[in-house]
A = this chain, B = another copy of it.
């Protein structure tokens, strides 16, 4: 026993720090770094080094439909990352808050102490979108220029941003069940003003028919999908199915899903919560990690679906990126939250 004070602190990356990081790095570079970081993580994924737990948690319908869920990940011998994810679709209209609000905590797996606490909402949006960019980079036709968006909330903004980093997008057709949300999409989009944004009043055949890439980003309720009909589409259509993930929550027409090459981000989780839950057998496409490792250009002329449910692996990469930038530019603050007595066997020492 060492008889010295042993103050340990944890780092908070608060909103001000996050703002400073994004201002310093820039959105495009953050997205590109995330795409590269996640690409490496998927390529090098080794389940003897990294453990992830599929998302689980509380879901409820009081006072409104919602969920608080967690999907922890661990780098063995180093750190465990626990993101706690709230999804409350009534937030935007009732509370002027985003549907998704999450925090991410990092624990040292040598001592168990809390290393970092940060917002996970912003970086989570970047992570999810960047994952989609990995799939899109492999699966979409190389000169894909037209994107269709169904569900134009917060997720769609990051989604279009990510896709525009890997394909030469020039036109976006945007539908949302709330026309005001479709209308405001252009203002919210961080993309090049060369891209033409066209709000759509309804999901007409045209939106599906002309899209090279279709992104579904809805909060579809259980058993109320699909969110668009199985109509004519380009033979090389690539779909990113990003939206609501839970039992019974599927966005795509089953007939379309059945004839597409389906790539899940995480097979077991997609089978329970993603589009893949509607498919009686396993998805026929490779998992994203196989796709990233071995390439997917052979699928570029075919109908493909990326089934995105989120994977705890992403949180490892996202929070590391935030921590590295916070450290580099010196933002965030340290605070002492875990009392560390001189005598580790004395839980009451802090009172004396």
Contact = CB atoms under 8 A, between A and B. Distances in A.
Interface of A: 1-2, 4, 6, 8, 12-16, 18-19, 22-23, 27, 51, 53, 56-58, 60, 62-64, 66, 68, 70, 72, 74, 76-77, 80, 82, 84-88, 91-93, 95-103, 105, 107, 109-114, 117-119, 121-122, 125, 152-155, 157-158, 161, 180-181, 184, 188, 190, 335-351
A252 B125 CA distance: 50
Nearest to A335: B14
Contacts of A339: 15, 18-19, 119, 121-122
B57 A335 contact: no
Q: Which 5 A-B pairs have the closest CB atoms?
A: A86-B112, A92-B344, A188-B346, A101-B112, A154-B347
Contacts of A109: 58, 60, 66, 68, 86
Given A110-B88, A337-B12, A348 B60 contact: no
23 contacts: A1-B92, A1-B93, A2-B96, A4-B96, A6-B95, A8-B97, A15-B338, A62-B77, A66-B109, A68-B72, A68-B74, A86-B112, A92-B345, A95-B110, A102-B112, A103-B105, A117-B337, A119-B339, A122-B350, A125-B347, A157-B345, A161-B348, A184-B343
Oligomeric state, in copies: 2
Nearest to A189: B348
A101 B157 CA distance: 39
| Residue among A23, A100, A338, A340 facing the most chain B CB atoms (10 A cut-off) | A338
Given A110-B63, A122-B339, A99 B344 contact: yes
Contacts of A118: 337
A21 to B, nearest CB: 10
B103 A338 contact: yes
A107 B84 contact: yes
Given A60-B109, A338-B103, A344 B154 contact: yes
A117 B117 contact: yes
A53 B70 CA distance: 12
Contacts of A68: 72, 74, 80, 82, 107, 109, 112
B111 A345 contact: no
Contacts of A101: 111-114, 338
Given A1-B93, A60-B77, 16 more contacts: A53-B58, A60-B76, A86-B109, A86-B112, A86-B113, A95-B110, A96-B342, A97-B113, A103-B338, A117-B117, A153-B345, A154-B345, A154-B346, A158-B347, A158-B348, A190-B348
Given A63-B77, A63-B110, A68-B107, A15 B84 contact: no
A101 B190 CA distance: 42
A97 B6 contact: yes
A111 B68 CA distance: 9
Contacts of A107: 68, 84, 86
A96 B111 CA distance: 10
Given A107-B84, A112-B87, A188 B27 contact: no
